[in-house]
Structure 1
Amino acid sequence: MALSLVNLCAKEVVSNHCASPHWLRWVPSELYGPLLEASLAGCRPLTVGELVQKWPERHLRIGGRRKRGQRPPSRLCVQALLLAVVRGLSEKRCALQVLDLCGLQGDEGPMVDSMGGWSLTIALCTMVVQARAGERKRVCARDRERDQRKRVKEENSDNSDHVEQSLGVFQGPRLANLEKRIETTGMHEKTESGRPPLQVRADIFVNARSWERVFAALNASGPLELQCRYLHVEEISMSSIGTLLGHLPQGGLLGVDVRYSHLGVGGLAQLMHWLAEFPHLRSLCLHYCNLDLRWHQPMYEEALQDLSRGLAQLRGLRRLSLTALRLPGQLRVMLSSLPQPLEVLELPYLSLSLADLSYLSCSHHASSLQQLDLSENRLNGQTLPSVCRLLGRASGSLRHLSMSGCGLSDDLLSQLLPALGSCLALRSFDFALNPLSTASLIKVLRMVARLPFMKQVLYPNPLEDYQPGLPELPSSAQLLDWPLDDLAENNVTGDLLEKILKECGRPDILLTCDLLNYDRELTE
């Protein structure tokens, strides 16, 4: 991406931190944004701190969707930014009232310099609590100073006759002026202490170790107010989730992501009841939540009905992601009660049955889907017609399709290709870990080359690339663990597919078989 002249100049200006005292006081407010962007991209934490501490605008957004090749800010830059926000509370030049950090988190790992979601949450909560403690210290110091002034004023009042006699009658007007200045100063301090808190909007990640700190920050009443846009919780109880939701502003929460928590069908229904209090909720993700299903118990059907009624209250929901919930045959219960059609539906590892796929292909969600994930749901000759019907109804809107690990053989894929070719809005197609031959891969590539908006394809290693010994129709787990031969290690298949795309006039499509580094968001 070519940089503009302003961006190039900003990059050069922030490259020398020693010169910042000379140019910072003369910078117009409209150039703070490019300078901060250049400081974050060039990992200049000192300059980041100086700019944020004197931020001239009411709103500052750091984060959001990153462009292709753009890295998240480094850990040092994020720490400098947070420290500067606290320091800016007492800076007269700082006009900041809303700090938006949604989407700021990067990858977290030993070889990654960015700050992950969990670390960023801890840093934010620590900043909010410390700012409250600092505000208390400043208030206490101000109160002590005011009390001291009051005592001085009382002593001067008691000894006014002695003062007038010893200093003369002209001291009276001077004393009146002094009292007026004391009262004016007190009024100014009251105005500063009563200003609204600075809003910090962020995605919050909570687990058992960070729950208490997050809870303390959400309840902190001080110069900073933490507001949650997307709540990610992992391995905490239903009661703790309910407590967190009870302390979040109802108008701000946009999404909830629950992972590895023991919910149960009754707990899931209770969660829907809590979430109904948030009118702007658009996203709900439930990953690997043990529902503790006991099919033989009479309360099971009643719990499912409670769950259906709870989902009916989520009127703004547009994204639903369910991973390994173990609810085969119950997709109608989960989706039919939703009042508005979904735009994003992710159903990996859900053991979808024929009844589930048949309902989905005829549901009110089918024609509105923009993103569909059916990964790790094994398809066969009976279920494939429903999938083809679903793709046909979603052909006008579907932009991202994932069918990894679905057991697609050469024969099944040939039946799927006509429906897939009708999805003209597709931008990405993921069909890794399917037992396909090289000839079938070539057919898929020639078909996706005709889709005008296609940008990225995640393809499987063909069966010819594996070492001998695979069964005739291997599972996705077997394909993942089985060793590849020397030709596959040299990416011979990838070179062949790239050549075919060039022959079709589509060298712009990104091909990859790398499961770990595949990023569907780059297609936007």
Structure 2
Amino acid sequence: MEDDLQLQIRFIKMDQKATATLLELAAKSLLSNEPAAIHALEELPRDLFVPLFIAAFLGGHMKVLKEMVSIWPFHCLHIGTLSREESYYEILEAMIDGLQILPAQNSSTCGPKLRILDLMEDQDCETTCPSIRKTFPFLEEAQRNVRCLGIGNSESEPLSAWKPTEVLVDLSISGNLKKKQFLSFLQNKVEENIGSLHLCCRGLHIDSMPAVKSVLQFLDLGCTDHLEVYKADLSEVTTHFAQMTHLNSLSLSNIPFKSCKGRKFNTFLTWLGHQDNLQDLILCSFCLKNQLHKLLRVLPPRLDTLYLTFCGLSNRDVIALSQSSQATHLTQLNLSNNQIFSEVYEPFQTLLEKASGTLQHLEVNNCLITDSILSALLPALSHCSHLRILSFASNPITMPVLRSLLQHLTSLTKLKYVIYPVPVHCYEQEDFHSTLDQQKLAEVQAQLKVMLHAVQRDDMNWTTSPE
């Protein structure tokens, strides 16, 4: 009886896979003749819109995509995991052009079903909202983890609750011509449909501050939850983005030294103190020497991610971090390219002990970690039971200490990736700038592999990063 049941399950799975394959083939066949495909949309069953949309997106059929968006039978349309390098921005423009936008003054009129067009690439989001009717079982798994970003997803939403059509995007402001053209296209669309189209920029990446002013005129910065800025004065950040109060992630890099001092820095701290939802803070080439305590004072106590690379951190800064409220909540910490071990290691040891209950990802590359320091840190590292990734490349470590580290860390069952420095004996002059002996490195890798196999930790991946 049990064998019969397993056989039936196998046939069901095979049938679902065959159905999916047939639909894919049918979609490709239909798209080979775009005029016929557009004509067929009027008669297309509701449940076939998703597989046809996916095929049209991946195939770059912009005319078909535009028509599909105009009669999309669901409340939401997400590109989710779909990605295409060729003609990417042209595809997005075609989809936006297809929106049937209901004029604000005619809010009593029965409008199109599509109210949210989500153009953000998201690994946790599929094509439609959960309200999709699942006639084909193979579609269920593909649409299990969908979300509507808190905007609402009821297909029977009353007309009295009318809201502008939402277009959700991640934008990049740089010197790239295609990105500039896309921004210009979006600006024109918003201006043509004032009050009826709401552009919700969730992620904003800025490589060119001079171009920001014109773009900010048509963006609602209250929507932005991820901000990345490269090479800008702190006064520009606090001035242009004063309206941002719901940031989840902030990344600033290559900030001029002068703006990290005095009044500009204090104004920045005041602005940062209003970001109550902040979970991730990434600072690179941002001078924080002897100032980290000021920053930690305004950050949310339950900060999840803290990256402080090339920040000139001192021993005093590590002490401040080890004594902070954030220390016991961090899951990701990166202090690479700071000479934090040039004096003493005890503050960092205390930090590890405080973070041992939550820390999952730790990077301390190029921090002047020596054999004696690493040996002293081993007990604290061994108590980081949630650690999954450890990276300490570009530190002067010898092979005996590396072997000792492996023996201590194999008890951490969740630790899967260790990026370690090439042992100093593999270099002709025992420094990272001399010639690397590839044969010696291969012997090191073989030794570690044998040791991992001996303690049944083949699931751990020990590797060196390019020096």
Q: Number of aligned pairs?
A: 394
- Which amino acid is 2:78 matched to? R
Moved more, 457-466 or 53-62: 53-62
Alpha-carbon distance in structure 1 between the residues aligned to 2:301 and 2:279: 8
Seen in structure 2, the aligned counterparts of structure 1 residues 469 and 424 have a Cα distance that, compared at 3 Å, is same
**In the alignment, is residue 217 of structure 1 matched against residue 186 of structure 2?**
yes
Question: Residue 451 of structure 2: which of 500, 505, 523 is its match?
Answer: 500
- Give the counterpart letter for 2:412 in structure 1: L
Q: Which has the larger helix fraction?
A: 1
Instruction: Compute the displacement of 1:250 (Å).
Output: 4.3
Q: Which residue of 2 is the match for residue 119 of structure 1?
A: none
* 1:95-106 alignment, distance < 5 Å: 95-103=113-121
Deviations 1:403-448 (A, max 9, x none): 1111112111111111111111112111111111223222333333
Q: 1:200 to 1:448 in 2, by over 3 A?
A: farther
The structural deviation recorded for 1:495 is 3.4
Check conservation: 1:98, 1:200, Cα contact below 8 A.
Answer: yes
8 Å CA contact 1:317–1:340 kept in 2: the answer is no
Mapping 1:272-283, distance limit 5 Å? 272=238, 275=241, 277-283=243-249
Matching of residue 380 in structure 1 with residue 349 in structure 2: no
Q: Distance in 1 between matches of 2:14 and 2:257?
A: 53
SS at match of 2:299: coil
Question: How far apart are 1:319 and its partner, in Å?
Answer: 1.5
CA distance 1:506–1:234, shift in 2 (3 Å): same
Percent identity between matched residues is 27
The secondary structure found in structure 2 opposite 1:347 is strand
Cα shift readout 1:26-59 (whole Å, capped 9, x = no counterpart) = 765445445655776xx43349838656543221
Quote the residue 1:423 is aligned against. 384
Larger Rg, first or second structure (1 or 2): 1
Q: CA deviation at 1:333?
A: 1.5
Residues 385 and 448 of structure 1, relative CA distance in 2, 3 Å threshold: same
Q: Tell me the secondary structure at the aligned position of residue 191 of structure 2.
A: coil
Distance in 2, Cα, partners of 1:455 & 1:4:
34
Unaligned runs of 5+ in 1: 65-70, 106-194, 295-299, 517-524
1:273 deviates by: 6.2
Relative to 1, partners in 2 of residues 1:493 and 1:222: Cα closer, same or farther, differing over 3 Å?
farther
CA distance in 2 between counterparts of 1:274 and 1:74 reads: 31
1:253 CA drift (Å): 0.8
Report if aligned partners of 1:391, 1:420 keep a CA contact under 8 Å in 2.
yes
How big is each residue's C-alpha offset from its partner over 1:144-187, in whole Å with a ceiling of 9 and x where there is no partner?
xxxxxxxxxxxxxxxxxxxxxxxxxxxxxxxxxxxxxxxxxxxx
Q: Residue 152 of structure 1 corresponds to which residue in structure 2?
A: none
In the alignment, what sits opposite 1:487? 439
CA displacement 1:96-152 (0-9 Å, x = unmatched):
3222232469xxxxxxxxxxxxxxxxxxxxxxxxxxxxxxxxxxxxxxxxxxxxxxx
Q: TM-score, normalised by structure 2?
A: 0.72
User: Is 1:329 aligned to 2:290, yes or no?
Assistant: yes
Change (3 A) 1:62 1:444: farther
Using structure 1 for the length normalisation, give the TM-score. Answer: 0.65
| Alpha-carbon separation, structure 1, partners of 2:423 and 2:388 | 23
The residue correspondences of 1:242-257 to structure 2 (distance < 5 A) are 244-245=215-216, 247-257=218-228
1:452 CA drift (Å): 2.2
Pairwise CA distance, 1:367: 0.7
| 1:258 paired residue among 229, 242, 247 | 229
Deviation at 1:336, TM superposition (A): 0.9
For residues 174-202 of structure 1, give each alpha carbon's deviation from its aligned partner in whole angstroms, at most 9, with x where no partner exists: xxxxxxxxxxxxxxxxxxxxx96542212
Match of 2:412 in 1: 451
For 1:457 and 1:27, how far apart are their aligned partners in 2?
Answer: 52
